[in-house]
Amino acid sequence: MHLYIHWPFCRAKCPYCDFNSHVREKIDYQTWLAAYLNSLDDYDYLLKKKEIKTIFFGGGTPSLMEPFIPETIISHLYKKYKIAANVEITLEANPTSVETSKMKDFKRAGINRISLGVQSFNQDELSFLGREHSGDEAIAAIKMISSIFDSYSFDLIYALPNQDVEAWKQSLKFALPFIRDHVSMYQLTIEKGTKFYSKYQRGEFVLPNEEVASDMYNITAELLAQKKLEQYEVSNYAAIGRESQHNLAYWEYKDYLGIGPGAHSRIEGYEVMMTHAPEKWLETKVQLKKKLSDEDKFKEFLLMGLRLKKGIEIKRANELFNNRFLEKLSQKKLNYFLEEGLVTIDEYLKISPYYMVVANSIIEGLID
Ligand X SMILES: C[S@@+](CC[C@H](N)C(=O)[O-])C[C@H]1O[C@@H](n2cnc3c(N)ncnc32)[C@H](O)[C@@H]1O
Interface residues with ligand X (CB under 6 A) are 16-17, 19, 59, 61, 92, 94, 117, 119, 155, 157, 186, 188-189, 191
Q: Which does 155 bind (CB under 5 to 8 A by kind): ligand SF4, ligand X, none?
A: ligand X
Which residue, 237 or 301, is less far from ligand X as judged by CB?
237
Please count the CA atoms within 13 angstroms of the CA of 8 that sit on its side-chain side: 23
Say which entry of ligand X, ligand SF4, none residue 67 contacts (CB below 5 to 8 A, set by partner kind). none
Binding test (CB under 6 A) with ligand SF4, winner from 39, 63, 94, 163: 94
**DSSP string computed for 297-347:** HHHHHHHHHTTBTT-EEHHHHHHHTTT-HHHHS-HHHHHHHHHHTSEEESS
> Quick one: what does residue 348 bind among ligand X, ligand SF4, none, with the CB cut-off 5 to 8 Å set by partner type?
none
Minimum CB separation from ligand X for residue 60, in Å?
6
Residue 13, binding choice from ligand SF4, ligand X, none, Cβ under 5 to 8 Å by partner class: ligand SF4
Give 277-285 contacts, CB < 8 A, sequence gap 24+. 278/8, 278/9, 278/22, 278/24, 281/8, 281/35, 282/31, 282/32, 282/35, 285/35, 285/38, 285/39, 285/42
262 dihedral zone (left: phi>0; alpha: psi -120 to 50; beta): left
Give the residue, chosen from 1, 4, 7, 21, that forms a contact with ligand SF4 under the rule CB under 6 A. 21
Q: How far is the CB of 191 from ligand X (least distance, A)?
A: 5
Stretch that binds ligand SF4, among 53-61, 102-110, 134-142, 175-183 (CB under 6 A): 53-61
Q: What gap in Å lies between CA 256 and CA 267, rounded to an integer?
A: 6
Of 188 and 329, which CB lies nearer to ligand SF4 in the complex structure? 188
Min separation Cβ 6 and ligand SF4, Å: 10
Stretch that binds ligand SF4, among 9-17, 186-194, 202-210, 360-368 (CB under 6 A): 9-17
Binds ligand SF4 by CB under 6 A, chosen from 1, 3, 5, 10:
10
Residue 186 is a binding residue for ligand SF4 (CB under 6 A):
no
Adjacent-strand bridge partners of 358? none
Query: Which amino acid is present at 236?
Result: N
In this structure, what are the phi and psi dihedrals at residue 290, rounded to the nearest 5 degrees?
A: -140, 135
Query: Peptide bond before 60: cis, by omega within 30 degrees of 0?
Result: yes
Distance (Å, rounded) from C-alpha 151 to C-alpha 91? 11
Binder of residue 157, out of ligand SF4, ligand X, none (CB less than 5 to 8 A by kind): ligand X
Q: According to CB under 6 A, which one of 17, 144, 212, 273 is a site residue for ligand SF4?
A: 17
Partner interacting with residue 172 (select from ligand X, ligand SF4, none; CB below 5-8 Å by kind) = none
